[in-house]
Amino acid sequence: MIARTQRRTAPTVFWVVAGVVGALGLGVSIWRLAQGLGATTNLSDAYPWGLWIVFDIFLIPFSAGAFTMAAIANIMNKDEYHAIARPVILAGFLGYAGVVAILLLDLARWHQFYKILWPGFWNLQSFMLEVTLCITLYTIVLLLELSPLLWERFRMASVQRGFRLAGAWIAGAGIVLSCLHQASLGSLFLLMRESLQGLWWSPMLPLFFLLSAVFSGLAMIIFVTVITGRAYGYPGSVRLLPGLAQAAAVLLALYGVLRLGDLVIRNQVGLMFGAGSLSLLFWGEIIIGLVIPLVLFALKSTRERGAGLLWGAICVIVGLALNRASVGLFALERPAGAQYFPSLIEFMVVIGVLAIAAIAYAVVTQYLPVFSDKAASTTG
């Protein structure tokens, strides 16, 4: 009896909390556009980038689950993965939509944002350009990959057939775009040789960002599948996850070797111990984001259990957040004496975006055949 009322109240609490937080986020976003950055954020000349940029460069690799999934399901023709592809691609799309929204809010001159889409203005050497264009295109690709949900729901057979033919091409375009912008996010910081601390600045940044996006994407797939499996009582395809965890372990190991080797070659090993709080941050990232999940995913006994998978995935995601926060904020040298802590509005926007994404996820999964077993025939 008690269990049943709990089951009924939990969703109501979710709707109320997410609804309120989402509405507040929307409200302060409009306020931010109307009032300007100075009035609403704690950004300054010393800290031109803050929470929003960190959130973007974290959410993009986190949402990489969609591209990793597409690669496995479509290109390698591993049909069994189609069953878990849709929830992941939906989560990925919502992640990218959130990134686009926050990017727009972050633009001081948002009224001219369309100029970045105009080829006549393009500076092809700017990674900000490449990242923006790729993200815009990729969000459209994700929308296309999700569109079979609609064709299926409304039984538009001919469109459905057309999409089945185009599926591999769309997925392929998405994968190329993803590789490009995940790497370019790292390249954004190549210019900051003098200000980004030596534990993080490296000419290999694009490769590091790409690699970490792929294993974080795998972690996101594991996370989303385990969580949705629990929340919706949908068995998911949890048996597919150990394979993904094993792949993640290989990539984590490769990433660790490259990071370490890079520090040795660039002669920065001393910073691992002698840079005060930044050294601590570095070790936090390595231990939480690399060592622990590597062990959890490498051992057969843990990667074949729900808890082992879930904790491994959470550690990877926390490690990713630490890494991106270091590169985008903590390890960037700023003028002496300058300080930054995000304003309430900056936090509210981020939390609001997450709440709206959660609502959208719940609504879409309720009304469209996201967990349909027929998924196998239509995502690709």
Residues in touch with other proteins (CB under 8 A): 34-39, 43-46, 48-49, 71, 75-77, 106-113, 115-116, 118, 121-130, 132, 168, 172, 175-176, 179-180, 183-184, 187-188, 190-195, 203, 206, 210, 332, 334-336
Shortest Cβ 284–other proteins spacing (Å): 24
By beta-carbon proximity to other proteins, the closer residue of 152 and 346 is 346
Q: In which residue are the tokens 């089951």 written?
A: 7
- Pair 193, 201: CB distance under 8 Å: yes
Burial class (CB in 10 A: 0-12, 13-18, 19+), 158: exposed
Shortest Cβ 82–other proteins spacing (Å): 14
By beta-carbon proximity to other proteins, the closer residue of 17 and 39 is 39
| DSSP 8-class letter at 193 | T
Q: How is residue 206 written in tokens?
A: 């694009």
By beta-carbon proximity to other proteins, the closer residue of 46 and 231 is 46
Instruction: Give 192-197 contacts, CB < 8 A, sequence gap 24+.
Output: 192/332, 194/333, 195/332, 195/333, 195/334, 196/327, 196/331, 196/332, 196/333, 197/271, 197/275, 197/278, 197/331, 197/332, 197/333
Shortest Cβ 247–other proteins spacing (Å): 14
By beta-carbon proximity to other proteins, the closer residue of 115 and 230 is 115
Q: How is residue 58 written in tokens?
A: 């974290």
Backbone angles phi, psi at 42, to 5 degrees: -100, 20
* Cα–Cα distance measured from residue 114 to residue 220, given in angstroms and rounded to the nearest whole number: 32
- Pair 374, 158: CB distance under 8 Å: no
Backbone angles phi, psi at 196, to 5 degrees: -85, 125
Shortest Cβ 356–other proteins spacing (Å): 23
By beta-carbon proximity to other proteins, the closer residue of 105 and 314 is 105
| C-alpha closest to that of 146 among 334, 329, 380 | 380
* Cα–Cα distance measured from residue 96 to residue 59, given in angstroms and rounded to the nearest whole number: 8
By beta-carbon proximity to other proteins, the closer residue of 8 and 109 is 109
By beta-carbon proximity to other proteins, the closer residue of 188 and 325 is 188
Shortest Cβ 239–other proteins spacing (Å): 21
By beta-carbon proximity to other proteins, the closer residue of 9 and 35 is 35
* Cα–Cα distance measured from residue 330 to residue 344, given in angstroms and rounded to the nearest whole number: 19
Shortest Cβ 33–other proteins spacing (Å): 8
Shortest Cβ 102–other proteins spacing (Å): 12
By beta-carbon proximity to other proteins, the closer residue of 103 and 355 is 103
Shortest Cβ 252–other proteins spacing (Å): 21
- Pair 326, 55: CB distance under 8 Å: no
Shortest Cβ 325–other proteins spacing (Å): 15
What are the Cα distances from residue 363, in Å, to 46, 291, 369?
A: 41, 37, 11
Phi-psi region of 221 (alpha: psi -120 to 50; beta: other; left: phi over 0): alpha
